[in-house]
Structure 1
Amino acid sequence: MSTLSLLLAAFAPAHGAPAGEAGQGGREIGGYTFQEEVDFGPQVMAPRVQDFAFGTFNGKQVAYTATASDGSLVNMIDVETNTVIQTALMDSVNAVWKIELAPNGKVYIAAIGNEPVTNDLRGEFWIYDPATNEAEFIDVIEGSQSTWSLAVDENSNAYIGTYGVQEGKHRAGEVVKYDAATGEFTHFGRIDNNDYVRSIEYHDGYVYAGTGSVGSVVKIDVNDPTKRKNISDAALAMFGDEFKAVLGDKPVPFAYDMQKVGKWLLVNFSGPVSSTLFYNLETGEWSSEALIPSRYPGTPTQNGVPGFTQLTPKGDTAYLTFNGNVAKIELGGDAPEISMTGVPFGMNMRGQAWADLSELGL
C-alpha cells in the first residue's frame, strides 16, 4: 500500500463503530469515530539528494546523505545492502549542499533553512550523531542566506562557505569557522569581494576558499584570517589564452568544486570553461597539466553541472567526471597524468567511495 493511501486510511472514519462509541485509544470528532492515531514518521515532499559522505559504523560501510525538501531527513545507508539503517529529521531544512564526516565520528551538515515566521532563507549548521541517531541544530550562520561548502580539520573544527547578497541584511560570501571545543563561530569576512564561497578545502593550517560568481581561490591562515592570498591569479594567467578563447573578455566563473587528493588540490572552474586545474600543496605551484575541454574533447551533456563534491582516490588514482566522460587522473608523480576511460557519464559526482562488493557476486 502506498504512503498516500496509508495516510488516507489513517484519517478515514471507522464506520464499524457507532457514533459516540470510540474504539480503544480512538476519539469522536464531529459525529465520526476515529481509531487510534498511527505515526508514520516525517513525510518528505519532492526529495532530492545533493551530497554523500562515506564512513563505517558498527563494522559496516555506510553512506550519509540528506534529502532536500521541506523538512530534510538525514539518512544512514548500508552500502552493501543498499538499505536505510536509520533516519533523523531536520525540520527547518529545505536543502543540504555539503556533508562531511568529522574525526570525532559526527556528521557535519551545511544546510539551507527557513526562518519560522518570515520564511526567509538562512544558512544553518547541523551535527548528526550516528550513535544516537539524533540531528542537532547548532545555530544559524549569522548574516547568511545559505551555506554552500564545508571542510573539516584534524580537530573536528568546521569551515563553512556562505552566500548572501542583500546589503544591510546579509553578509556577502564568507568563510565561517565552527570551533568544536567551544561551540563558537568565527567569521572570517568576505572573500575576494565575492558573493559565494562555493567550494572549500582545509590543509595543514590553511583554508582554501573557492569563490563565485567570479572564480578565484584564496588561501587563508585559520589562526589569523587576515593573512590571506589569492593563489588562482597565477593559474588563470597560465591558462588565460585557452580560457579567453571560450569566455572572451568575461571573467572566469565559479571555482565550483574543490578537493584535496594527496598532495594535490583539484579545483573545478565551472561554466563555459568547465575545467579542472591542479595545485601542488607542497610546492605552491599550479601544474601545466589540466582538464580543459580543448585538450580533452568529449560529449558534454546538459544533465547537471559537471564536477564533483567528493573524490576518493584508489592509491594515487582519482576518477572524476569531465566533458561527458569519466576521467582517470594519476596523482603520484610530479605532474598529473590524465587519460579518458571511455566510460560515458554526463552528470557530476555527488560523493564517491570504494566498496568491496565481492560477497554480493558483483
Structure 2
Amino acid sequence: MRTVPQRLGLVPILIALALVLGTAPASAEPVRPGPAAELPARFAEPENLGPLIRSVAVFDSAYGVENGRDVLYTTVTGSPATFQVIDLDSHTLLRTIPLPGAADSWSHAVDHDGSVIISGGGHLFRYQPSDATVRDLGRAPGASVLYGVSPDGAGNVYAGTYPDGKVIKYDSAAGTFTDFGSVVPGQDYVRGLAYHRGTVYAGVGITGSLWSIDPGTGAKTEIPLPARPEFDPARPPSIYSLNTAGDLLFVQLSDVNLLLIYDTVAGAWLDTAVSQYRGLYTSPERDGKTFLVAGGRLRSFDLATHELVDTGIAFGTYLRHSAWVDVSATNPELPGLSLVTVQYGGAVSFLNPQTGRVISKPSILEGSPITLQTLERGPDDRLYASGYPGGTGARFDPEGGGLTNFALGQSEGMATLGDSLYLGNYPGAIMHELDTTKPLGAGTNPRQAHDIGDDQDRPFAITAGDGKLFVGTIPTYGALGGAVTIKDGAVWSTYRNVVPGQSVMSLAYRDGKLYGSTTVWGGLGIEPTETVARVFVFDVATRTVEKIITPELPGAVTAKAIGALSFGPDGLLWGAAWGTIFALDPATLEVVRSREIVATDWNFNHLWRPIQLRWAADGLLYTTLGGNLTVVEPRSLKSRTLAATALMTLAANGDVYYADGPDLIRIRDITAPDAPTVSAPARPGPSADDTPEVSVRSEAGALIQLWNGDQEVGRDTAGSDGAATVVAGPLADGTYRLRVTATDAAGNRSQPADVPLIVVR
C-alpha cells in the first residue's frame, strides 16, 4: 500500500534552528595533516575481474543509405561507447566502431555529404560510410555533453551543451569550434537545438526558454513561450528536444509531456498543442504530414491544416529519431513505406501505416561494458552493482566467481535490511526491494517498494537499524531541499528540508538517533543558497531534528559537502568531507580527530555521491576519500592510497573490491592478524581439570586455534569484540606448552602466541 508521505514543515524546523543550530568545536589537539606513513597491512596486486555489466542502451539514432541499402546508425552507451550500423533490409549488424573517450551519445545527424555527425560526451565525431571510419573532430569548449547535433548543409555543425547551456558551432573546413556562450546565464542545459533556414533555435533548461540565434553575429533573441494551463509561466519546464518539419518547429517540454509548435515563418505559436506527448522527435515529413507518438498512439499532424489524427497504431515508447524506409522486398509483412525507429534496448521497430501493425525486431547490437554506478555487499555476502545508464544490474559471488545479470534501473544507493537489499533508483527516487532468498525475476525481484515523491530524485544515502530503513535524497532538477524517508514496517514517511535548502548525502543510525550529513547542492540547474554543509541528529521516535552543527575541520577550508557518516568499532561517529577524514564524539558532536589527506578546494559543479566508509575486521577503515581508495588506521590516521575510485566495498573474507569504470577490481586480503593476546591463564600453573580454558583477544571473526606442537587441541571464533575462549582437550596428565593462532576469513594465519605453562594432573 502506498502511504501519503508526511512532511516535516519548514516553519517548525526554522523555529527549532534557534535552539539546535551550532558549531561543533574541534578538539584541542587534532591530528594534523602530515606525510602518510606505511601501514602494517599488506595488499596483493589488484586483479581485474572484467566488466560486471554489458548491456545495450541507446539514446538516439540516424538513418542513411549505404551501397543502395537502408541503414540505421546508433551508438551504444558503454566504456567506451560504440558506434554501430545496422542493415535494415536484412537486419544484420554491419559494423561496430569504438568512440574513444566517449561514454554515450545523445545525438546523431546525417550531413549533406552522407557522413554522420555523432556527439560523444563533449566531443564530435564524424563517420564516413565510404571507408567505414570514424574520426574524432575534437572537444567542444567546456562541454561535458553535446545535444541536438544539427548540420546546416554548408559544412557547419551546431550543438547545445551541458554544462553552462551554450551553443557551439563546428566549422568542418577549418576544423575549429566557435563558442556562442551561455544562452541564459545560470541555466546549464541546451538539450534542444535545431538549425532551420539560416537560424539556430535553442531550447534551454532547467527553467525552460526558447531562443533564436543568428549564426553570423551570435545575436540571441528570446521567443517567449505561450501561456498554457499545463505549466507555471513564471517557471516553465525545461525544453527537452527540438526538431523541424516543413517550416514548423516542434518543441518538447519535459515533466508536463507537452509538445508546442512554432511557425518559423509567421513567427508565432500555433494554437494547437499536443498533450501526452511521448517524444523525442516527430518524424520526417511524408505527404505533407509529420508523425508523432502521443497517448500511446502514433498520430499524424498535417503541416498545412494542423489537424492531428490518430493512425490507430499503438506504440508506447519514443521516436529516438526515425525515417521512412521501404524494406518490403525482404520483409513482405511490411508493404510500402514504414516508419523505423530504435528502442532504448536496441530493438528496431517498424510502424507500418498500410497494415496498422508494429513489427519490432530484437536487438542485434553489441552490448558494451557499462560504467558501474553503485557497488555494495548484500545480506547474502554477494556483491551487487548497478550501472550508468540503468537497465541492467549485476550480482557477483566472491566465493565462486559466479556472475548474474538482472533487470535494474540506475540505483544510486543500496543498503541491507534483513534478508533484503533495498535499492534507491533515479529518476524519481523510486525504492526497490531485492529479496536475496528468492530467485531474481524482472519486475518481481527486485520489485518496486515505494515512490518517495516530494520532488526527490536521487536516493544516494541509505542505511538501516532497529528494523527500520532510512533513505536520504537529492531533490529533482531545479529544486533545493533534500529529504529523509523512513520505512517502519509497511509505513513510509518522508520529511523534507530536515536541513533547510540542503540535500541529504549520508546517514548513520544508532540507539534511536539518525545522524545525517548534507551537501549544499540540490538538483541540477539551480545554484545553492547555502555555503556550508551540516551534520544533524534526527530523533526517530519523535521525528524531530535535535541538533544541527557545522564541524570544524582543520585544513578542510569550508566543507560544502559532508559525504560520509559511519560508526566505528571505537564508538566514534566517523565522517568524510571529500579529502578530510574526521571523527565526532556522538554525544557532543565535537570533532575529536581529523586529518586532511587529499587537499580540497571545493570547486565542484555539484557533489552528491557519498564517500564510502567500510570497517574491516582488523579495525582498519577503507574509504573512497577524495576519489581514492584509501585505507586509514583510525588511531594514528596514517593512510595509504591503493587506487583511484569512487566505489568500493569489502567482501565477507576481507578482500577489497572496487570499480574501475565498468570493471570490478579485487585486492586480496593477504594481511595476517596480529598474534592473539592471551588473558587467561594469566600465569603458569596447574589446571583443575583436563579441559582447561584459554581466553584470548584477536581480530573480530577470526578463527582461534590452540596448538600442542602441530596438533590442534581446541578452537573458537572471536566475537565482534575480538574476544574468544578456547576449551582445550581433553588433555592427558602432563605439562603443556600450548600456543594459540588467529586465522582471518581470507585464510591468513597469525604468528603463534605462547600460552602460560599448563600442568594437567
What is the Cα deviation at residue 175 of structure 1?
0.4
Q: How far apart in 1 are the matches of 2:199 and 2:174?
A: 20
CA distance in 1, matches of 2:138, 2:247: 34
User: Of 199, 202, 210, which residue of structure 1 is paired with 2:203?
Assistant: 210
Equivalence for 2:254: 270
1:361 aligns with one of 332, 335, 338: 332
Residue of structure 1 equivalent to 2:130: 131
Aligned equivalent of 1:13: none
2:316 alignment counterpart: 346
Partners of 2:112 and 2:153 within 8 A in 1 = yes
Query: In the alignment, which of 103, 107, 111 is matched to residue 98 of structure 1?
Result: 107
- Do the aligned partners of residues 44 and 73 (structure 1) sit closer, same or farther apart at CA in structure 2, a change above 3 Å counting? farther
Aligned in 2, Cα 1:325/1:82: closer, same or farther, shift over 3 Å? same
Deviation, 1:315, is 1.7
Partner of 1:169: none
Instruction: Name the CA shift for 1:310/1:65 in 2 (closer, same or farther; >3 Å).
Output: farther
- Structure-1 separation of matches of 2:238 and 2:294: 16
Q: Secondary structure at the match of 1:93?
A: coil
Partners of 1:92 and 1:103 in 2: CA distance: 26
- Once the two structures are TM-superposed, the CA of residue 290 in structure 1 deviates from its matched residue by 1.3
Distance 2:178 2:285 in 1: 32
Aligned partner of residue 259 in structure 1, secondary structure: strand
Aligned to 2:437: none
In the alignment, residue 101 of structure 1 is paired with which amino acid? V
Q: Determine if contact 1:72/1:91 at 8 Å carries over to the other structure.
A: yes
Matched, 1:236 2:206: no
2: CA distance between counterparts of 1:109 and 1:151? 10
Per the TM alignment, residue 358 of structure 1 is displaced from its structure 2 partner at its CA by 2.1
Distance 1:106 1:255 in 2: 28
- Unpaired runs of 5+ residues, structure 1, are 1-42, 113-122, 165-171, 294-299, 301-305
* Shift of residue 44, structure 1, vs aligned partner: 8.9
Structure-2 separation of matches of 1:111 and 1:44? 20
When the two structures are superposed, what TM-score results if normalisation uses the length of structure 1?
0.73
Root mean square deviation, CA, Å: 1.9
Q: In structure 1, what is the equivalent of residue 306 of structure 2?
A: 336
The counterpart of 2:245, out of the listed 254, 258, 261, is 261
SS in 2 for 1:69: coil
Kindly provide the CA deviation profile for residues 71-130 of structure 1, in whole angstroms up to 9, marking residues without a partner as x. Answer: 121112111111112222112211100000100221101111xxxxxxxxxx11111111
1:192·1:218 contact (CA, 8 Å) conserved in 2?
Answer: no
Aligned position for 1:224: 217
The residue number in structure 1 matching 2:71 is 62
Total equivalences in the alignment = 280
Q: Tell me how far 1:185 sits from its aligned partner.
A: 0.3
Q: Are positions 1:326 and 2:325 aligned together?
A: no
Q: Is the 8 A contact 2:203 2:239 kept in 1?
A: yes
In structure 2, C-alpha distance between the alignment counterparts of 1:346 and 1:79, rounded to whole Å: 22
Give the structure 2 partner of residue 189 of structure 1. Answer: 181
Q: What is the deviation of 1:310?
A: 5.7
Q: Is the 8 A contact 2:88 2:327 kept in 1?
A: no
Equivalent AA in structure 1 for residue 176 of structure 2? E
State the shift of 1:250 in Å: 6.2
Paired amino acid for 1:350: R
- For residue 197 of structure 1, what is the amino acid of its counterpart? V
Offset of 1:277 from its aligned partner?
Answer: 1.2
Q: Match of 1:178?
A: 170
1:143 matched residue in structure 2: 142
Shift in Å, 1:51: 0.9
Cα offset, 1:220, TM superposition: 0.3
Q: Residue 219 of structure 1: CA displacement? A: 0.2
Aligned counterparts, 1:74-93, within 5 A: 74-93=83-102
Query: Could you tell me which amino acid in structure 2 is paired with residue 198 of structure 1?
Result: R
Structure with the bigger percentage of helix: 1
The normalised TM-score by structure 2 is: 0.36
> After the TM superposition, which segments of 4 or more aligned residues of structure 1 sit over 3 Å from their partners?
247-250
Residues 324, 150 of structure 1: alpha-carbon distance in 2 compared, 3 angstrom cutoff = same
- 1-structure distance, mates of 2:189, 2:246: 26
Judged with a 3 Å threshold, the aligned counterparts in structure 2 of structure 1 residues 248 and 287 are, in CA distance, closer, same or farther, namely closer
- Tell me the residue number matched to 2:17: none
Q: Secondary structure at the match of 1:210?
A: strand
Q: Deviations over 1:161-210 (max 9, x none)?
A: 1001xxxxxxx110000001101100000012321000110012110001
Shift in CA distance, 254/176, structure 1 to aligned 2, threshold 3 Å: same
User: For 1:252 and 1:326, how far apart are their aligned partners in 2?
Assistant: 27
Deviations 1:8-43 (CA, angstroms, capped at 9, x unpaired): xxxxxxxxxxxxxxxxxxxxxxxxxxxxxxxxxxx9
Partner of 1:47: 56
Query: 1: distance between equivalents of 2:105 and 2:194?
Result: 18
Q: Write 1 or 2 for the structure with the bigger share of strand.
A: 2
Q: Please state how far the C-alpha of 1:65 moved relative to its aligned partner.
A: 0.8
- Superimposed CA distance per residue, residues 135-185 of structure 1 (whole angstroms, 9 cap, x where no aligned partner): 111112221221122111021311011001xxxxxxx11000000110110
Q: Distance in 2 between matches of 1:250 and 1:204?
A: 31
Equivalences for residues 23-34 of structure 1 within 5 A: none
For the structure 1 residues 250 and 347, does the alpha-carbon distance in structure 2 shift closer, same or farther, using more than 3 Å as the test? farther
Q: Distance in 2 between matches of 1:179 and 1:159?
A: 9
The SS at the match of 1:50 is: coil
Partner of 1:311: 283
AA of the residue aligned to 1:326: L
Structure 2 contact 159–167 (Cα < 8 Å) conserved: yes
Measured after TM superposition, the shift of residue 45 of structure 1 is 2.7
1:322-349 CA distance string (max 9 Å, x none)? 1332222111x2x411122343322211
